[in-house]
Amino acid sequence: MHIKEVYSLVKNGLDGVNEQFKMLASHQGDGFPELQRMLSHILSGRGKAVRPLLALHSGSLYRCDQQKIIFMATASELMHIATLVHDDAIDKADVRRGQETINKIWGTDKAIIFGDYLFAKAAEYAVATGSLRVVGLFSKTLGAISYGELKQGFSAFNLEQSYEQYIKRITGKTASLFALSTEGGAILGSAPEEYIKILSEYGLNLGISFQIVDDIFDYIGTEEEMGKPVGSDLAQGTVTLPTLMLMERYPNDNPVKRIFENEGDKAKSIEEAIDMVRRSDIVDRCYRVASDYSEKAARNLQLLPDTPNRRALYTMAEYVIKRKK
Amino acid sequence: MHIKEVYSLVKNGLDGVNEQFKMLASHQGDGFPELQRMLSHILSGRGKAVRPLLALHSGSLYRCDQQKIIFMATASELMHIATLVHDDAIDKADVRRGQETINKIWGTDKAIIFGDYLFAKAAEYAVATGSLRVVGLFSKTLGAISYGELKQGFSAFNLEQSYEQYIKRITGKTASLFALSTEGGAILGSAPEEYIKILSEYGLNLGISFQIVDDIFDYIGTEEEMGKPVGSDLAQGTVTLPTLMLMERYPNDNPVKRIFENEGDKAKSIEEAIDMVRRSDIVDRCYRVASDYSEKAARNLQLLPDTPNRRALYTMAEYVIKRKK
């Protein structure tokens, strides 16, 4: 299946999510033009809608109440956006997806509260699914995300990290929300328990693969493709898979070490580290790890009935590796 | 009823809440000592447990599943603490309840994520009540709180505010969580619909009264009593009821104006404003407004069956005005 079909197959659902976002931006800001502007700004700059796609396809494999799945998809995407707003505030990032961040325009303080507001709206949509089990998943997932982010914060600029710790961290930070989207969709789509479990694991493996590829992009992408500066992870002291491999390969005189120990010209060291990764086989090796996870995700799917939605999920598992941004 | 009895009457419930907090601090930090320290720090420095009291008394008026009410009370208090963590990060406050703030010890970045983590835990406890209606109230309340805080942020250092706007702002910021505690307790305590409504309104009026008194304390309290510096609201540009009255009384050469327009010595102007309020009848007038709300709260209660828990709620409505901190 072509990636375009992955979108067109759930066009109604995606339109439904966009409809909710439009309503949110226009109604919630009543008599509060600044809030309206913040909502319009953040909801207009949306990305690839990966989490809504996951919820919509996972929810459509069986019988489903389309409106509930749309609420679920809207909730996952809002939760994702809320975490990005806080991430950017913490990283003091100026640009995201090619447009200015909330903290850049309105300052860190407003970004903190606006993020909280988006969490609240995500929770309201989760409640609108009518499923306490789904809401429970949402709260556990927010716990896992913030636990992962907190771990990342406390382990920043610390190179004493194992591959295992890295995988655990990105599982919390990224994959947990992927798993929430597929598992929540499956629950609302009345999938049998064994299939809910399969879809949850699919989401988890896909999410890990997705984050590894994102971490590779931080080395090999261009600012234009990514909508943010290259080498951001290095600058913020976030240890990623390519960084771990680079340290393993050159344990002694390594630009990463200089960056983390605040020695010498930081920008120059970042450039050097990027160059070293690009000229080595590290990118290939990272892609192999990412592929292992996405293949595992795809394999899980074979146990589900063969429907167009299953094929779409399969395509997503392939695409996560092939994508250019 | 003496205020001590308000506590002793629901001693088991309060012990249950403390038990949950202890479990949270000890289990959640497994293998993550920094998180454990943050949790122990924030949960040891707890205040008057007003929100748990409200939930426990409102939940005990009728038949109730004590464990569910304890989850509800724990969830409200955690949500309150989460908002304080973010507030302090925004205000760059060093001290709260006489101890160092999370942002002071661990920095703003960690405080943002730790606050999110506490929101997630609050949501998990809300889900543990087993009531989708209660979880729905939680999400709406977080929306109201962050809406109120955002309004406060955008209206900071702006004296063009009406009494009505002030009341609306503190209703969102503070009273909504009081109302959640009483309404949620009543729902879980199987109160009839009309009594749920009465208890919700009681909580709302009590919360407004509580916040007005807090805003008075910012002028007449001592740093020792409050556990934070006097005049904090003025320093942060937050317009409160005493400030509105002071501006109304002296619309021209007013120290508040100088503070907000960043003219002259800020600390000296704050001292001057505090002195002007203390020497005027503004404190009395503010207390009268607060009393109006707490009396309204107390009046609502007369429609409920006369039980010790109702009397406790009545005492709380009196105490909110009489309290010294």
pLDDT tens, position by position, B91-123: 999 988 889 999 999 999 999 999 999 999 999
Separation of alpha carbons B38 and A150, rounded Å: 11
In this predicted structure, the answer to whether residue A73 has a pLDDT above a threshold of 70 is yes
ipTM: 0.92
What is the reported pLDDT for A30? 65
DSSP letter (8 states) at residue B96 = E
- pTM exceeds cut of 0.80: yes
Q: How far is B163 from chain A (nearest CA, A)?
A: 17
- How far CA A137 is from CA of A141, A142, A181, in Å, comes to 6, 9, 10
Higher pLDDT, A192 or A46: A192
Give CA–CA dist B180/B141, Å, rounded.
Answer: 7
pLDDT for A165? 92
**Predicted local distance difference test score (pLDDT) of residue A228:** 77
The end-to-end CA distance of chain B, in Å, is 19
Confidence tier at B7 by pLDDT (50, 70, 90): very high
Delimit the domains of chain A by residue range.
3-322
Q: Which residue of A has its CA nearest to B133?
A: A127
pLDDT for B30 equals: 64
Structure tokens at A151: 């771990």
SS3 category, B9: coil
| Residue showing tokens 């006097």 | B230
| Alpha helices (H) along chain B | 3-8, 11-27, 33-44, 50-59, 66-91, 102-106, 108-128, 132-154, 163-170, 176-188, 193-220, 223-226, 232-236, 241-249, 255-260, 266-279, 282-301, 308-322
From A156, A150, A177, A182, select the one nearest A57 (Cα to Cα).
A182
Q: Which residues of B touch A (CB under 8 A)?
A: 32, 34-35, 83, 86, 89-90, 108-110, 112-117, 119-121, 123-124, 126-127, 130-132, 135-136, 138-140, 142-143, 145-147, 149-151, 153-154
| Partner-chain contact B143 A89, CB within 8 Å | no
Query: Does residue B29 register a pLDDT over 70?
Result: no
Q: Which of A84, A150, A151 best probes binding to B when mutated, by most B CB atoms within 10 angstroms?
A: A150
The mean pLDDT value for A285-311 works out to 96
Confidence band (pLDDT; 50, 70, 90) for B26? confident
A-B contacts (CB, under 8 Å): 128
* Cβ B213 vs Cβ B243: under 8 Å: no
CA angle (A53, A55, A58) in 5-degree steps: 100
CB A82 within 8 A of CB A118: yes
Task: Evaluate if residue B273 carries a pLDDT over 60.
Answer: yes
Mean pLDDT of A65-89: 96
What are B241-267's pLDDT values in tens digits?
A: 999 999 999 988 899 999 999 888 999
- Per the CB < 8 A criterion, the answer to whether A149 and B115 are in contact is no
Cα–Cα dist A160/A153, whole Å: 14
The reported pLDDT for the residue numbered B309 is 96
**B208 vs A76: CA distance, rounded Å:** 34
- Using DSSP, how many helices (H) and how many strands (E) does chain A show? 18, 2
pLDDT in tens, B148-181: 999 989 988 888 889 999 999 999 999 999 999 9
More confident residue, B27 or A270: A270
Do B132 and A136 lie within an 8 Å CB cutoff? no
Q: How far is B323 from chain A (nearest CA, A)?
A: 30
State the Cα–Cα distance between residues A116 and A106, nearest whole angstrom: 15
Give chain A's mean pLDDT: 93
The CATH topology of domain A3-322 is Farnesyl Diphosphate Synthase (1.10.600)
